[in-house]
């Protein structure tokens, strides 16, 4: 029994679509770890206190698809924000103490400008790292240790 040309084309198109979907899913599962880099320090004052903001970027931020940062109303909210992003980013000192977190980055460009702050007279940790947590797939990507001084 021979297949008509139209059936062969439909089978090949369906196969191609399945392969493209599988490739996209594979790419999402095999993202590189973030490369965290200190980009600066900034003094600021709030509530009558002096603070220092330690600002970072993820050097390879473009490796993280923007879909990871889409609003995810079906996942648990971030406080009162019921449209928090699918992926959250947390900053930790070298011992694992959480310093700050971001739960509503709109796209991967938000990884350029993540930060934590300490009162100006507080000695910062020597090193920090981040975890990018894809809450939809329960996948975490842990960065390198980055310095807190330029």
100 Cβ contact partners less than 8 Å away, ≥ 6 residues apart = 90, 91, 114, 115, 116, 117
Same domain, 13 and 64: no
Q: How many domains does the chain have?
A: 2
Segments forming the whole domain that contains residue 133: 33-147
Q: How do residues 65-111 score in pLDDT, each as one tens digit?
A: 999 999 999 999 999 998 899 999 999 999 999 999 999 999 999 99
* Contact in structure between 23 and 113 (CB atoms under 8 Å): no
pLDDT of 25 reads 47
pLDDT of 27 reads 46
**What would the mean pLDDT of 35-62 be, rounded to a whole number?**
98
Q: What is the mean pLDDT of the chain?
A: 88
Q: How do residues 24-46 score in pLDDT, each as one tens digit?
A: 544 446 899 999 999 999 999 99
**How far is it, in rounded angstroms, from Cα 55 to Cα 111?**
10
Look up the pTM and report it. 0.80
Same domain, 15 and 46: no
Same domain, 76 and 19: no
* Residue (of 102, 86, 124, 111) closest to 36 by Cα position: 111
């Amino acid at each position: 029994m021979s297949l008509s040309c139209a059936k062969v084309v439909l089978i090949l198109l369906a196969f191609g679509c399945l392969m493209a979907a599988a490739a996209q899913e594979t790419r999402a599962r095999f993202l590189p770890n973030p490369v965290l880099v200190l980009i600066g320090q900034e003094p600021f004052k709030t509530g009558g206190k002096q603070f220092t903001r330690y600002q970072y970027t993820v050097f390879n931020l473009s490796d993280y698809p923007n879909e990871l940062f889409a609003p995810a109303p079906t996942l648990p909210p971030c406080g009162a924000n019921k449209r928090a992003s699918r992926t959250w980013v947390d900053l930790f000192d070298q011992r694992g103490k959480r310093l700050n977190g971001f739960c509503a980055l709109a796209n991967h460009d938000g990884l350029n400008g993540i930060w934590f702050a300490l009162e100006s007279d507080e000695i910062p940790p020597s090193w920090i790292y981040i975890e990018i947590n894809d809450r939809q797939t329960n996948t975490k990507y842990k960065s390198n240790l980055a310095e807190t001084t330029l």
